Structure 1
Amino acid sequence: MPFPPTPRLRPAAISAAAAALVLSLTACTPASVPAAGAPSSAGAATGLPSAHIHGLSVNGETGQVLLATHEGLFDVSKQPAVKIGPSNDLMGFTAAMDQGVFYASGHPGKGSTLPSPLGLVKTSDGGRTWEQLSRQGESDFHALTATKSGIVAFDGTLRTSPDGKTWKTATADFAPAALAGNPYSDTVLATTPDGVQRSADGGATWALDKAAPVIQFAAFASATAAVGVEPGGTVHYSADGGATWTRKGQISGAVQAVAATDGSDGNPWIWAATSTGLVVSTDGGATFRPSDAA
């Protein structure tokens, strides 16, 4: 059974978190976009940018919350949200280990001279500028994550790369809805309608966990702590990198993206961009409340 349609996501936390990136094989409709550094035209009901949300990244050290959208990257820690960098459609988005370093994929924005699709692009300054790494004009990675060994990405084929420039085809016979990894680990989770596929070698090989819940969104709070969200919003937690799961609470509203970071008391903090706004859990997913970031 396919996952229900939802506005698409992916990002990751700069330190010890990865965002879930939801797969979409359809194009977005162009829209007018604000200039970089300008306040966004946020949705009146949610306080979030009105563009389709493809990714969510939370920096556990600084508290910065980023949304990767059809209209580019937005800092929703600011009130109102502030656009960062060019207006490219960031279908795939994930954070690397170093501060301010992100990888992305998707389509060039209006007026851009970049090839379409973008292939893999990289920023080292928090999204203000981007460099082209590989597969320009070839790949639109809708699912994308960073691991200790490199990059795992899906453009219709599941691929791995140690440097973002050279690629190998992974041994996989599934199409992931989301990829979740962490720059401090080689464990990767791929969500599918049949269950969670898990890799312990940076995405090279995979095994289906038939005992795991069927989750649509996944994120790592650390090298071993992971969270997953079912299509209906039920939240699950794993302390062992997705090997086993414990059911937690419930997220209201249609989830578009999730991210997680380490909590000081051992419980991960979990963020979710939903149809009703940005929510956060500070008790490991048991309860959620509106986030102050949006």
Structure 2
Amino acid sequence: MGKSNSVMCKLLSLTVIFSFINLQSATAASLGELSHIHNIRVHQNKIFLGTHEGLYQYFSPTKVVKIKPDSFDVMGLATNQSTLFASGHPGVNSKFAQPVGVLSSADNGVTWKQVSLKGEVDFHMLEVGKTDMYGVDSGKGDLMYSANLGKSWSNQGVNTYGDIAIDSSKAGLAFGLKKGQIYKSTDAFKSEKVIKSKLAFSAIELVGKRLYAVSGNNLYLSTNGAASWATLSTFDKSIGAISTSESMLLVAAGDKILISKDLGKSFK
């Protein structure tokens, strides 16, 4: 699996709670029947799960639907709210290369277009902004950066970040999470500066100027670039993953997926 990260490990820990069964021939199931959920992403007003068996859309705990029979192991999944991007391994009798490199979909995963790195890279962590993209090469453990939505890539060296949040207001501007602390970079992680905090974070997510961060059971919000934090919500169980769009904020806490449509004021 290459160099792991804290967010991925916590997502994979959800599969201990979710049952381990084979769904390769299934198209619909409940959340508890899925195995190996690698990613949970809010894309516009929809929720997608990147799994070992392919891409699923989440509707409720009792209804998740596979997007397309021609599946691949969706190890990396990202969205800039206009396009889905993915990376991983091909499924049985799949037309995709091994590894698939970087794929994009403009129709919610119904069809995929090859972007780059076909047969070269399997990104286990994938993040995308307006134009910037970051991916962690599972084979080498390197952090790779693209300034043109994955068309071309540069190697930034060995990855040291567990999560990355891209600020699309300027090329190369991003926040990285390392050993519980948030680092800011203005040059695509060629250099970095720590933003000191007494809190230890495990996941970060940015939409506009709203930077969300997870610490244990708590969800925090910063609107000043991580200079200060306000507690947004506290959950009964530890938070494993977060994802957000302009209209929706998702938290995976324990074995539940909780959704807010009022900027995190309430979840259900």
TM-score interval w.r.t. the shorter chain?
0.7 to 0.9
1:2-13 paired onto structure 2 within 5 Å: 3=6, 5-8=9-12
Q: 1:210 aligns with which of 196, 214, 228?
A: 196
Report whether the alignment pairs 1:148 with 2:130.
yes
Matched, 1:258 2:256: no
Q: Which of the two has greater helix per residue?
A: 2
Q: Is the 8 A contact 2:145 2:155 kept in 1?
A: yes
Work out the CA distance in 2 between the residues paired with 1:204 and 1:125: 34
TM-score under structure 2 length normalisation: 0.79
Provide the C-alpha distance between the structure 1 equivalents of 2:6 and 2:84, rounded to a whole number of angstroms: 27
Q: Judge conservation of contact 2:100–2:122 (CA < 8 Å) in 1.
A: yes
Question: Taking structure 1 as reference, are residues 143 and 243 closer, same or farther at Cα in structure 2, changes over 3 Å only?
Answer: farther
* Structure 2 residue identity aligned to 1:279: L
Amino-acid identity (%): 26
Shift of 1:88: 1.3
Alignment of 1:132-171 (within 5 A): 132-155=114-137, 156-163=141-148, 164-170=150-156
Structure 1 CA distance for aligned equivalents of residues 129 and 189 of structure 2: 9
Give 1:68's aligned residue: 50
1:1-294 map, 5 Å: 3=6, 5-8=9-12, 31-35=22-26, 38-43=27-32, 50-60=34-44, 63-77=45-59, 80-85=63-68, 86-98=70-82, 101-155=83-137, 156-163=141-148, 164-170=150-156, 174-181=159-166, 186=171, 187-211=173-197, 213-220=199-206, 222-230=207-215, 232-262=216-246, 269-281=248-260, 284-285=263-264, 288-289=267-268
| Cα pair distance change 1:136/1:243, threshold 3 Å | farther
Deviates further, 74-83 or 147-156: 74-83
More displaced stretch, 242-251 vs 118-127: 242-251
Return closer, same or farther for 1:113/1:193 CA change in 2, 3 Å cut-off.
same
Structure 1 residues 224 and 212, CA gap change in structure 2 (3 angstroms): farther
Structure 1: stretches of 5+ with no match in the other structure: 10-28, 44-48, 264-268, 290-294
**Greater RCO (CA < 8 Å, at least 6 residues apart):** 1
- Tell me, yes or no, if the aligned pair for 1:225 and 1:237 is still in contact at 8 Å: yes
**2: CA distance between counterparts of 1:88 and 1:255?**
27
User: Contact (CA 8 Å) 2:89, 2:99: kept in 1 or not?
Assistant: yes
